[in-house]
Structure formats: C-alpha cells, structure tokens
Structure 1
Amino acid sequence: MTLASLTKPWQPMSYGFLDGSAKREIRRKMLKAIAVPGCQIPYASREVPMARGWGTGGLQISCTLIQPKTRIKVIDQGADDSVNAASIRRFLARVSGAPTTTDTLEADLIQSRHRIPEERLRQDQVLVLQVPNPEPLRPVQPNMSIARQMHADADYGRMWLQLYEQIVRAGRVMQGASYPSLVNGRHVMTPSPIPRWDVPKLHMAQHLTILSAGREKRLHAVPPFTRVEPLVFDDVPYAVEDHARLTCHRSGATGFFMNEIPQADGTSIHEVSDSDLGVKVINRRDGDPVHIGETWYQHGEMS
C-alpha cells in the first residue's frame, strides 16, 4: 500500500458538497433515528452556505441522500417558487447534477419547510422536513438536561398540563403549528412547524420522513407505517384548521389547506397552499391532460 493509493486528485468540493466523513456520520444517525422512531439523535451539524435557521438541517440530510438520478423537489410553505425553495433547489442541483421537479408525483426526494404536499407520497419517496426547534418540551422545561431525562422516563405530564390549561382558559387547544405528537407509542416529537392539517399525514404513511434541525444539531425520523398520534384528551378530539369550505380564488380547488390573502377593503381571499396542486387543477380546468395523484384529504376530510 502506498500513500498515493489512499489519496485522490484535488477537487474543489466533494460530491453533494458534504465530505465523506460527514455523510457517513449523518447516515449512521439517520439509521439510529429510524430504529427509534421519534427519538432525537444528536449529530455534528456542518457548515453549509446558508444561515442557521434557514434550512441547514434539511439541506444536510438532502445532500447526504442525493444521487445523480435523484429527482429533487423543494417547497417552502407549500410553494415551489419562494426564494428559499428556489435557492435550496438550485444549490442541490448544482452540487449533485441531479434533476429537479416541481411535481410531487415525479420527485424522489422532497425537502419541505412547514408543509407536507397534499398528494399522497409513495413508499419510494423520502420527505425531509426542516425543523427550527426539535424539542417539544422546551415550552414547559427550558433546561435541556432535564428535558432529555424526561424523554428517557417518558415523563410528558407537563405537556398534558399545558394542553389542559389551554382548554380551561380558551375552551379549546390553542396549539397550532408544531403540534406535539406521540410516535410509535413512546416518544413525543414536534413534527416541525407544519399546521395541524398536516400532522395526520404522518400517521401510518408509506413514505419515510426525516426531520432535521441544523442549528440545534438534532434529527429524528418517522419510518413508514408508524403510528403518529397527536396528544389529545378522550373528550376533546383533535381538530384541524377549518379550511374544508374555503375555495381557491385562482384554481377553484376546495377542501385543501389554504393561504389567506388580506385585501385592501378588509376582506380576504384564499389560495391553495400547495402551489403544485393548484397549478395542476388550473391546467386540468384548461383542458390539459394532467394527472393529479390521490390526495390525503377528500372534501376537507382525511381519507
């Protein structure tokens, strides 16, 4: 064995931007997270050309999983054309040579901020969610050492108390995005700042979901066909946002999660949050042969 045989010609960067040792570590941590669903796994978050808090955790997972033939889709708040989504998509394509797409059904790897697509994902697709704060106990226990001990003991009494206090004071659970959910009957996780509308999409889903927080240096996972149950009392059922009767002013789609757009006269109009679905509905209305996959919700009800 010679030293030359152990080296490679100099390159400006490794494939997928991250070096080999970083990818190996992240892969090991992802396997551990899949083996223990919902459990937070620490990892050495690397520096990427993006500010902390803008998706560095999801970007590192995507850079680790991406291959030259992987079709990439990146969305931000449901939109493919936002600045953050376009920048991450362009960066991933540049460092990997992989093709990009805005079609949920065509994508192999979907990186998302704050939303899960309305069309159902398949077994061969991977969803990567950006997570600003992976610790669900932080609002009730700011000391992270004690919070980790509470996770080890499955001591989530303070979270139940917080939900109870909301019901007593407001008559309903006020927790909106990042609704705490019990994974596989053991660990409570925060499912990233997705709305309550999207949390049921994780329950017994066919696809793998990886949630990563680069700033907090932690990741967790929801493997396929895993129970994800929002924390609810037996006599106060879980309720999603009341968007079932809203209609998109552009596409005419109904029964999906909508963005509210205030108008100058004080009224509001609504637009379907999943921009790809909205475009498909418009193209189908115009007579184009567009295939829309099966959606999680039918007429505002979980199917």
Structure 2
Amino acid sequence: MSNKASITSLSDPSAIANYNFAYLDEQTKRMIRRAILKGIAIPGYQVPFASREMPMPYGWGTGGVQVTASILGPDDVLKVIDQGSDDTTNAVSIRAFFAKMARVETTTQTKAASVIQTRHRIPEEPLSEDQVIVFQVPIPEPLRFLEPRETETRKMHAVEDYGLMHVKLYEDIAQKGHIATNYAYPVKVKGRYVMDPSPTPKFDNPKMHQMEALQLYGAGREMRIYAIPPYTDVVSLDFEDYPFEIQAFEEPCALCGGTGVYLDEVILDDKGERMFVCSDSDYCEDRRAQGFRGPMAPDANHDQEVPA
C-alpha cells in the first residue's frame, strides 16, 4: 500500500477502529500508570519509563501525549493548550489526534474539561479536584544546565544537595541585581525534591502550590514522569532578602481589560506598535463574553469598558 493510501485510510472510521483506544496498547498504558502512581507517591521524583514511539517527533509533546493516553477514558472531556492558546499548531494537532484515536469529547473551556494537556502554561481559571492537568516537559532535570552528568544529578537528588541551584540564583543577583530566571523557575515539592515545573513562566508557579487538581508531567524524549498530588506544598526557591516574585504587567489586556493575568506581547506593525493580550485564550474570550472590554477590543468604542 502506498503512503498516500495509508494516510487516506486513517480518515476512514473503520481503519481507526483497528487501533487501540487512545493509540497506545494496554500493556504500555499499565506501565505508564504504574510510573504515574509512583510519581504521586513520591512528589517531585522523576520516575523513569519506557517511552514509546508516537506519530509525532520528539519535542512536540510525546511525553504528555503518552500520559494523557494512559489516563484518558471514554467519558473524559479533553482540552489541549499551547502557551495558553487553544488554536496554535501543537494544541490543534494533539486535540485532533485524541478526537480521532479516542473518540472523546474535546473542548476549549477550562471549566468543562476533565483532562487538560498543556505546553508551558497553567490556565488562569483555578482548577478543581475532578480535573487532571498534564504538562509536556522537554527537560525534566532542573540541574541539567548546572551539572550535565546524569549520574551526578541523581546523587544530588538522593542526598538533597541543591546548593548548586542556590548558587545559580545568587549569581543572577550578583550580576543583575535580581533573580533573572523568568521561566522553568525551580520549585521544591513537599519540602524534599527540587523540580522543574516545565518551561512555564514563573508567573504560574504560585498556582502549583496547594492546587486542587492532580498535576502530571511527561517527558517523552528524556523518558521521565513526575507528579504533584492535589493539595501539595510547592515552594519556589529564593532567599530571605530576595524573595520570589512573579512578573508584573503595567498594562491590562488590550482585548478584555484583564489584570493580574499573564500577558503576551503582540507586535502590531513595523513601527514597533504593540499590545498585550491574555496568554490564556479561553480566559480572555470568557471575559469578553461577559461584557468586559479592553482599550483595543474591536467593539471597545461601542461598549462601555468594564473595570477588571
């Protein structure tokens, strides 16, 4: 059969029926679930697992996809976001993959989802106990760029030797006057393991602390899974005289007028004109549906602006 015929056949429901639910075989799912359970039992600990080949290249969320495929059920509602947005390439392709291979309902609404797979963001809407958030992780080892040898980083985790990480943060202060790390900011989970929260902006770190939802992290290329159970203490590393601080934005969202949320900078023209909009597209759309308007909303001149 030609490649063209093979690709065409995947659009046939009868061809999809020959695949396992959510693509992975049941034995692989059980293996991944065991790794997830161990990760939940030891919060922040990187559990090795036998990562499988997926119909997408490494670096495009294979770890998160495998975790999602292993926990997804027929009655689940799936939401997939990439940098907070529902309509970027990574989010659209993964959502379509599970809609085809698992026949599950998909949504763009955070409240309606039971499983949320995300790349580099945590939704602005607080998550609840009946939700699971799955993170796509490129590099799970927080010490990788300080100590590249895996044998050494494992020893450092085993004896809780995280002085090197504090030295890195101190060097930021010595050179720049403040801790300059803005994403993948290291956290300590339940007072024990230092963990990489995936390349989420440090703005999202406080959301991890005592979150009601289960947090699962999958790194396909690195073959690691780790987890944070609900209601777990997650503390960002800092110093007494230089406490942890999140990014602050001087302007509200240009479309919905939201404040206190993470904003993306959008360049409008060659003259450098720009605007800031909510990174979380569902949150922004929900506010606009409620009547909130920012200074650059399309109908801002026709609707009265509602304060945030």
Residue in 2 aligned with 1:90? 96
Q: How many Å apart are 1:282 and its aligned residue?
A: 1.1
Alignment partner of 1:139 is 2:139? no
Alignment partner of 1:170 is 2:176? yes
Q: How many Å apart are 1:251 and its aligned residue?
A: 1.9
Are the equivalent residues in 2 in contact too, given 1:246–1:255 (CA < 8 A)? no
User: Of residues 104, 110, 121 in structure 1, which corresponds to 2:110?
Assistant: 104
What whole-Å deviation, never above 9, does each CA across 1:123-144 have from its counterpart, x for those lacking one?
A: 0100000000000011110111
Question: Pairwise mapping of residues 179-218 of structure 1 onto structure 2 (< 5 A)?
Answer: 179-218=185-224
Alignment partner of 1:159 is 2:165? yes
User: Of residues 260, 263, 267 in structure 1, which corresponds to 2:273?
Assistant: 267
Residue in 1 aligned with 2:253? 248
Judged with a 3 Å threshold, the aligned counterparts in structure 2 of structure 1 residues 269 and 29 are, in CA distance, closer, same or farther, namely same
Over the matched positions of the two proteins, sequence identity in percent amounts to: 45
Q: How many Å apart are 1:149 and its aligned residue?
A: 0.7
Matched residues in 2 for 1:206 and 1:263: separation? 38
What whole-Å deviation, never above 9, does each CA across 1:89-111 have from its counterpart, x for those lacking one?
A: 01011111110011100000000
Q: How many Å apart are 1:253 and its aligned residue?
A: 1.9
What whole-Å deviation, never above 9, does each CA across 1:124-174 have from its counterpart, x for those lacking one?
A: 100000000000011110111111111001000111111111100100001
Matched residues in 2 for 1:239 and 1:286: separation? 28
Matched residues in 1 for 2:65 and 2:127: separation? 20
Residue in 2 aligned with 1:77? 83
Matched residues in 2 for 1:89 and 1:14: separation? 17
Unpaired runs of 5+ in structure 1? 1-10, 288-298
What whole-Å deviation, never above 9, does each CA across 1:54-98 have from its counterpart, x for those lacking one?
A: 100000011011111100000000000111101100101111111
Matched residues in 1 for 2:144 and 2:89: separation? 30
Work out the number of aligned pairs and report it. Answer: 279
- Say what the alpha-carbon RMSD is for the aligned residues: 1.6
Q: How many Å apart are 1:185 and its aligned residue?
A: 0.3
Q: Say which SS state the counterpart of residue 105 (structure 2) adopts.
A: coil
Are the equivalent residues in 2 in contact too, given 1:18–1:64 (CA < 8 A)? yes
Q: Say which SS state the counterpart of residue 58 (structure 1) adopts.
A: helix
Are the equivalent residues in 1 in contact too, given 2:76–2:115 (CA < 8 A)? yes
Matched residues in 2 for 1:28 and 1:61: separation? 11
Judged with a 3 Å threshold, the aligned counterparts in structure 2 of structure 1 residues 144 and 201 are, in CA distance, closer, same or farther, namely same
Are the equivalent residues in 2 in contact too, given 1:246–1:258 (CA < 8 A)? no
Q: How many Å apart are 1:116 and its aligned residue?
A: 0.2
Alignment partner of 1:257 is 2:265? no
Q: How many Å apart are 1:12 and its aligned residue?
A: 2.3
User: Of residues 29, 46, 51 in structure 1, which corresponds to 2:52?
Assistant: 46
Alignment partner of 1:14 is 2:58? no
Judged with a 3 Å threshold, the aligned counterparts in structure 2 of structure 1 residues 286 and 140 are, in CA distance, closer, same or farther, namely closer
Taking structure 1 as the reference length, the TM-score comes to: 0.89
Are the equivalent residues in 1 in contact too, given 2:86–2:281 (CA < 8 A)? yes
Q: Say which SS state the counterpart of residue 106 (structure 1) adopts.
A: coil
Residue in 1 aligned with 2:33? 27
Report runs of 4+ in structure 1 exceeding 6 Å deviation: none
Alignment partner of 1:279 is 2:285? yes
Q: Say which SS state the counterpart of residue 78 (structure 1) adopts.
A: coil
